[in-house]
Amino acid sequence: MANILIRSDEANAAATALLWAARGHNVCLLAPTLSPGTNNFSYFGHQRTVTLRRLEELEASGPNVGVVFAEGEDVQAGISSILESKTPDLLVIIGGGISAAVHATEAAKGLHFDSSRILHVGGFLVGGNASAVKSEKQSVIAGFLAKGTPSHVLGLAQTTLPQVLIGNGFSVALSSVNALVHLPPMIFNAMSVERGADVRFYVEGFGDSVCRLIDDLDAERLRLGTALGFMLLPLGELMDRSSGPEGMPGKTMREKINAFPSYQSIKLPSSFGHRFLAHELRSTFAPMAELARMAGVGVPTINSVVRIGEILLSADLSSSAKIVATKFLALTKV
């Protein structure tokens, strides 16, 4: 079993820590969400008790895995925190899109950590919070951020994270399911966001018009991937693969999203600064718009949501997006 050190305040990070501890790993969560020691929680509806470790309680020997959640959190700060605490054999970056790939690689270079040991995972592996593990995804795409990953590190990744399918790391960066399903409802429910309305994000907030926008965004993402030399999986396939052997319930995109059990209680955020809008724009859509411009690919829908997002945030995203896109392209050529 591995020593797993997680750095994140994200609710899903707490659920992930509990799940890994339940599987016998030595887990330390560097966040106030859960305290070290005995923790009681609901494990897929059944009560379980596990022990989370303090940093000094992790084993001196054995493989070490560091985990940073990049969904709206500072990737570089997270990596620095992990490396200050314990040198990992494998460093896992959860989510974060294009910007996470760039920031993780830059942080590794500055901290003299080998990027071939950084595994970028496309999104959350576990659904839940500090009191309950509600779901676990399967076949989530993942990839290392540099060539030359040692075989024992690859083996550590496969045994510690059996839910992932390891492929091309830069394809992962262009395949954020969260970005595609978070941004459109935030835009189309903008007035409800401002009012702080009591709306279930994936149910009342997720209608046919949202699905049409998602379809158009996904088509442009796939076209951009082809232009950059990456054969990306369509969103529907990504979602079905990660949701278990039977996929998601329902036939249409709306039916799948509206009926998915772990989505039922999630509420519409009451701020445009929430990661569902601000982070997804900065991490994925604004850099994609710049990548498309550099590649000469027409992406009018992506450009439109970026501009609408800038209006909602009262911010100019183009300058930082150009920097991220330029660095991302350079990384793909290495």
Domains 3-173 and 177-333 share a fold: no
Mean pLDDT across the chain: 94
Q: Which of 115, 117, 78, 116 is nearest to 96 (CA)?
A: 78
pLDDT tens, residue by residue, 173-223: 999 999 999 999 999 999 999 999 999 999 999 999 999 999 999 999 999
**Residue 244's pLDDT is what?**
56
CATH of 3-173, one of 2.60.120.260, 3.40.50.1220, 3.30.1490.100, 3.40.50.720: 3.40.50.720
Name the pairing type of β-strands 3-7 and 140-144: unpaired
**Residue 231's pLDDT is what?**
92
**Residue 245's pLDDT is what?**
52
**Residue 256's pLDDT is what?**
86
**Residue 247's pLDDT is what?**
56
Topology, domain 177-333: N-(1-d-carboxylethyl)-l-norvaline Dehydrogenase; domain 2 (1.10.1040)
**Residue 174's pLDDT is what?**
97
Q: What is the pTM of this model?
A: 0.94
Domain limits, the chain: 3-173, 177-333
| Contact status, residue 309 vs residue 317, Cβ threshold 8 Å | yes
| Low-confidence residues in the chain, pLDDT < 50 | none
